[in-house]
Structure 1
């Protein structure tokens, strides 16, 4: 009887290292599978978005399409109000800390939304606070009332608006918020990977553009579309409806910033709104291709040639999937 009982006790001890090794190999295989899925099939793996500032190779802030869309709205509202990049960075860092760029329907006590604003403290109704355009707008309204906010440390400026119990927590988000700010208006880049988007509605895209950027989004800085401007126009190859957003000719850095912001806003919200491609300047983005990254285009379409999906010099071109 004693010999029988010794054998089963010794075997499990010899198998444990083998089981641990097999478990480790399985984990590596799973991680490798998801990495390949993300980078294969032309960007048709699991959706994700990435932002980086110009000249900062190797530093990228990765996020979900939901987070990217909310960041795009925060940046768009700030730019539409004519506020500087510093204001946008403060707003983005605040939302990163308060909600991780998610439009939450819960929080401490009655806190809600991207900035965890409280109806009981006069920030608005619950429905208003959970509208990202409204919540970003009222955050900026309070921020500009802070004297010299642009010259203050980010933690100080954010705290004067938020009255948080942990004001120093905003600081850790400043580098990522600055990269996002640059992507939307100061020479950085934002791209979104994943499968080609499902069909969208051009009218919904226009309505969302107007909500985020104001009526001028559809017709240049002055709000007038002109004879050949405005939103709409030609249909792109493949039959997809196109939206042309005309910028003011010779509008200078402010119009270039607005154009970049609208282009990257469209990429950030492509999964949600069914946007198939975006073009601005000499670059273009196509959903589900090129690992989701921007590619150089061959120039604006014209009777003499060029890339038929590219934008003209003073245009943001958005194509909605069908």
Structure 2
């Protein structure tokens, strides 16, 4: 009597399925590890602003870069911190701090300014430095704006159909202002990807000068390092009250916020260092321990020369 042949296909298929599943898992793990290596830490590229009270605000590198530009332009014009907060809250509402090419009718850019309403040409409005400068110019023309509720001051400039919408952004804008004007030290950090392409020191110097004005005077330096001497702001305004220390942190935070675009590898200031390879850990002190938001007394800093310069090292 003949017996039917056995067919081990189900078992074979089961093994093949398990092998395929294991391969998928391995590929996923490998992809995750590569992402961690490239980004410098867990998760996607991101920026975080914190306060001594534990409040935090998370944003993308693109948003952080635009916010830092808005703050730097205000600082360069001697505008008080209240003006920077108004500008940041306005941009958060109008564009989400993204330099967008669309909007209601012909509105464009960070502040959704309209060429047809005399804000400038399309190219000008799409330049964050110009757009921020134009906003501050019109804000400065509003008598007593710094004493007004934020919604009222913003509306005087924007003429929005929904003026109350600016109010919900005031807490986040206040947090950003404290960091980006340098009043809150070591409070902005970004986790960004390592870049295999070298940074361009000339471009960094040009962007610094565009945002902060000619008085920023970065040293030419050698190789891939840009050094910025730190002096008290020359122009009057509330931002001058913090002196050189606050000025230095404004420059340092600007560099971190622009790290992805300008291929910044490291920023060092006042005994603290931010490095792209460990950017998920934030600012580190020279001793290698995580920094808090304090840099010690101004007298100690001046004695050690810690507030003398901001050093920006680019990818090489």
Partner secondary structure for residue 203 of structure 1: helix
1:204-230 deviation digits (Å, cap 9, x = unpaired): 011000000011112xxxxxxxxxxx4
In the other structure, the counterpart of 1:24 is none
In the other structure, the counterpart of 1:210 is 209
In the other structure, the counterpart of 2:136 is 140
Q: Distance in 2 between matches of 1:113 and 1:252?
A: 31
Report the aligned-residue RMSD.
Answer: 2.7
Q: Distance in 1 between matches of 2:134 and 2:311?
A: 30
- Is the contact between residue 38 and residue 194 of structure 1 (CA under 8 Å) also seen in structure 2? no
Please state if 1:314 is matched with 2:308: yes
Partner secondary structure for residue 113 of structure 1: coil
4+ long deviations beyond 6 Å = 37-41, 249-252
- The normalised TM-score by structure 1 is 0.75
In the other structure, the counterpart of 2:45 is 47
- Is the contact between residue 109 and residue 125 of structure 2 (CA under 8 Å) also seen in structure 1? yes
Partner secondary structure for residue 289 of structure 1: helix
In the other structure, the counterpart of 1:72 is 68
Q: Distance in 2 between matches of 1:249 and 1:67?
A: 27
Q: Distance in 2 between matches of 1:77 and 1:292?
A: 29
In the other structure, the counterpart of 1:276 is 265
- Structure 2: 5+ residue runs without aligned partners? 1-27, 234-239, 289-304
- Give the Å deviation of 1:40: 11
C-alpha spacing 1:38/1:115, structure 2 compared with 1 (3 Å): farther
Q: Distance in 1 between matches of 2:279 and 2:226?
A: 22
- Is the contact between residue 74 and residue 133 of structure 2 (CA under 8 Å) also seen in structure 1? yes
- Is the contact between residue 143 and residue 157 of structure 1 (CA under 8 Å) also seen in structure 2? yes
- Is the contact between residue 79 and residue 258 of structure 1 (CA under 8 Å) also seen in structure 2? no
In the other structure, the counterpart of 2:110 is 114
In the other structure, the counterpart of 1:246 is 229
- The normalised TM-score by structure 2 is 0.77
Question: Match for 1:150 among 122, 146, 157?
Answer: 146
Partner secondary structure for residue 74 of structure 1: helix
Matches within 5 A, 1:190-205: 190-198=188-196, 199-205=198-204
C-alpha spacing 1:74/1:252, structure 2 compared with 1 (3 Å): closer
In the other structure, the counterpart of 2:256 is 267
Q: Kindly tell me the number of residue pairs found equivalent between the two proteins.
A: 262
- Give the Å deviation of 1:194: 2.9
Q: Which sits farther off after the overlay, 285-294 or 257-266? A: 285-294
- Is the contact between residue 73 and residue 133 of structure 1 (CA under 8 Å) also seen in structure 2? yes
In the other structure, the counterpart of 1:23 is none
- Is the contact between residue 48 and residue 56 of structure 2 (CA under 8 Å) also seen in structure 1? yes
- Is the contact between residue 231 and residue 243 of structure 2 (CA under 8 Å) also seen in structure 1? no
- Is the contact between residue 228 and residue 311 of structure 2 (CA under 8 Å) also seen in structure 1? yes
Q: Distance in 1 between matches of 2:315 and 2:40?
A: 17
In the other structure, the counterpart of 2:183 is 186
- Give the Å deviation of 1:91: 0.2
Q: Distance in 1 between matches of 2:284 and 2:192?
A: 16
- Structure 1: 5+ residue runs without aligned partners? 1-29, 219-229, 236-240, 300-310
- Give the Å deviation of 1:176: 0.4
- Give the Å deviation of 1:46: 1.6
